[in-house]
Amino acid sequence: MGKVVALMDDLFFQMKLAETAKQLGVDVKVAATGDALMDLMTSQPKLVIVDLNSRSHPIQTIELLRVSRKDVRVVGFLSHVQTELAAEAQAAGCDEVLPRSSFTQNLAAILSMAKD
């Protein structure tokens, strides 16, 4: 079973993530704050998903995450018009930044990357 942790406070996306992960047999833990996400990192996840529109300072969380874990894959998603935020996320250490629509369409494939 793969391990994924996510930073998101949008309940709609939390449910979508949980349902897709369940279908794939991927273990997902969701944090609503950056501190909670950092606590989840002790489980040694293979993938971190970040809602870049989260209210809990996602860019700073990615920067902090990269200090302790350079090896984990980080995928962020946001509104397609937020090009400046996308650039900030990549500079902070996001491996991939996707528009929300593309993230949703490819969620199963993204989660499959974390499978054992």
Say whether pLDDT at 1 is over 80: no
Say whether pLDDT at 34 is over 70: yes
DSSP 7-74: E---HHHHHHHHHHHHHHT-EEEEESSHHHHHHHGGG--SEEEEETT-SS-HHHHHHHHHHH-SSSEE
Each domain of the chain, given as residue ranges in start order, spans 3-112
Greater confidence, 115 or 98? 98
pLDDT digits (tens, 9 = 90+) for 37-89: 999 999 899 999 999 999 989 999 999 999 989 999 999 999 878 889 899 99
What pLDDT score does 81 carry?
81
CATH topology of domain 3-112: Rossmann fold (3.40.50)
What pLDDT score does 82 carry?
83
What pLDDT score does 79 carry?
86
